[in-house]
Amino acid sequence: MSDANDASALVKLVDEPIDIVAISETLSDYESGAHSLFLGTTRRTTQSRQTEYLVYDAYRPMAKSELSRLAGEAFERWSLKRLVIVHRLGRVDLGEASIAIGASAPHRKAVFESIPWLMDQIKSCVPIWKQENWSDGTSEWVHP
């Protein structure tokens, strides 16, 4: 638990499994009474099709830049104390996390509101792409 009185954001793109424990430790803050962690994981069934695994690609420097910009906006809008956004790239198997967003703030409303907003923004403007690799051996990039 940290008693530092500074607000901070951590944005990372990683090529290995997301370290949830490290995120929890980063969120720790004596001035925050609310901590929330969202994990987006690889789901098996989409409509009637079965996913074998996902692959994520990114335009890395721009993705990092956009994530940092969004983190800054979230900080300002909800007065967060800590914010961590980690997106995994490469192959992500069933049940594994492709994204983690953790936030801490003095009160719960800030973390309950900021994380869905961040996810919506990430899904609309951060240059990261998902490739579905189906159980029948076919694959396709997802461009909604």
Residues in contact with another protein by the rule CB under 8 A: 40, 56-59, 61-63, 65, 87, 98-99, 119, 122-131, 140-144
Q: Which is nearer to another protein, 32 or 114 (CB)?
A: 114
- Amino acid identity of 39? L
**Minimum Å distance from CB 31 to another protein?**
29
Q: Are 54 and 130 in contact (CB under 8 A)?
A: yes
Written as six digits, the tokens of 89 are 């790239």
**Minimum Å distance from CB 33 to another protein?**
27
**Minimum Å distance from CB 122 to another protein?**
5
E-strand stretches of the chain: 8-14, 34-41, 45-46, 49-58, 82-88, 90-93, 97-105, 128-134, 139-141
**Minimum Å distance from CB 77 to another protein?**
19
CA dihedral (135, 140, 143, 144) positive or negative:
negative
